Amino acid sequence: MRPSIADKRATFRRLHESGCFVIPNPWDAGSAILLQSLGFKAVASTSAGMAWTQGRPDNGVTRDDVLAHLSMLVEAVDLPVNADYENGFADDPDGVATSVTLAVETGIAGLSIEDSTGKKDAPLYDFDLAVRRIAAARAAIDRSGQDVMLTARSEGFITGRPDLEETVRRLKAFSDAGADCLYAPGIREDAQITAVVQAVAPKPVNVLTMGMSVGALTGLGVRRISVGGSLARSAYGEFLRAAKEIAADGSFDAFKRAAPSSELNGVFAKPRP
């Protein structure tokens, strides 16, 4: 029997209570189903991977595009789905709250809100506004009455503002504002990760893997590991290598590395949840 939305949300919250798990990022229904077949316990959308499927750059899609994508992922798999919800598709807290309410209705088990503005000259929201945005997201989830986990992201290390002290200050404030999980994509050194984990303890920390192993990150106290757009980039990388060989050399040797049709059909032929 297919788990209910409430079941998925309860499972997702339990995953954050102890240990460490990898939450890979599919970009469409097929990749989500394949990840489920490999035994992963949850999946998360990728804003970049999803945008590329539409021939657009990262952050180049609309809120409606993302909501439709999230609904599709939730329907495709039995696993909890966490939403990469960018900056909530709004600058002001009220707009973030509206966006979060719509996201909860898709059946997701969690979502993340960034403090990134998308502006090169001012890449992060001012501190007080960033905190109010997280508080608004928290309030929207609470009003919904749904057990959806809120992850707050501080983007300094991937937007040209790699200030650990400021990142920790923001994450602690986001935690106080009601975030369930904290995330600073781009931190990669042991000391940086440890500082974040200790600063927001006992709340769980998500880390975007920058090449470190699951074992190493587990040892640093990380609870959740995501891969962002890396799986999508890997798929597109192999596609481009094969296509370039055809275009440049007239060679089809790359097809020798392709996944067997029998394997793919075997997974996709199984009854959909």
Residue 36 domain-assigned?
yes
Residue 141 domain-assigned?
yes
What is the C-alpha separation between 15 and 216, in angstroms, rounded? 19
DSSP 3-state of 142: helix
Strand order in the sheet with 110-114: 21-23, 224-226, 205-208, 181-183, 149-153, 110-114, 81-84, 43-44
The residue type found at 203 is K
The residue type found at 34 is L
Residue 148 domain-assigned?
yes
Q: What is the chain's pLDDT, residue by residue, as a tens digit (273 residues)?
A: 899 999 999 999 999 999 999 999 999 999 999 999 999 999 999 999 999 999 999 999 999 999 999 999 999 999 999 999 999 999 999 999 999 999 999 999 999 999 999 999 999 999 999 999 999 999 999 999 999 999 999 999 999 999 999 999 999 999 999 999 999 999 999 999 999 999 999 999 999 998 899 999 999 999 999 999 999 999 999 999 999 999 999 999 999 999 999 999 999 998 765
Q: Which CATH number belongs to the domain containing residue 26 in this structure?
A: 3.20.20.60
Decide if 85 contacts 112 (C-beta within 8 A).
Answer: yes
Residue 23 domain-assigned?
yes
pTM greater than 0.75 (yes/no): yes
The residue type found at 156 is G
Radius of gyration of the chain (CA): 19
Give the count of domains, the chain: 1
Residue 102 domain-assigned?
yes
DSSP annotation string for 180-214: SEEE-TT--SHHHHHHHHHHHTTS-EEEE-SS--H
pLDDT at position 235 is: 97
Counted residue by residue, the chain has a size of 273
Residue 263 domain-assigned?
no
Which range marks the domain in which residue 10 is found?
5-229
pLDDT at position 124 is: 98
Residue 261 domain-assigned?
no
Residue 269 domain-assigned?
no
pLDDT at position 270 is: 83
pLDDT at position 272 is: 65
What is the token pair recorded at 3? Answer: 């788990």
pLDDT at position 271 is: 76
For 243: left if phi > 0, alpha if psi spans -120 to 50, otherwise beta; the answer is alpha
Indicate the angle between helix axes 29-37 and 261-268, nearest 10 degrees.
90
DSSP 3-state of 168: helix
Question: Can you name the residues that pair with 225 across neighbouring β-strands?
Answer: 22, 207
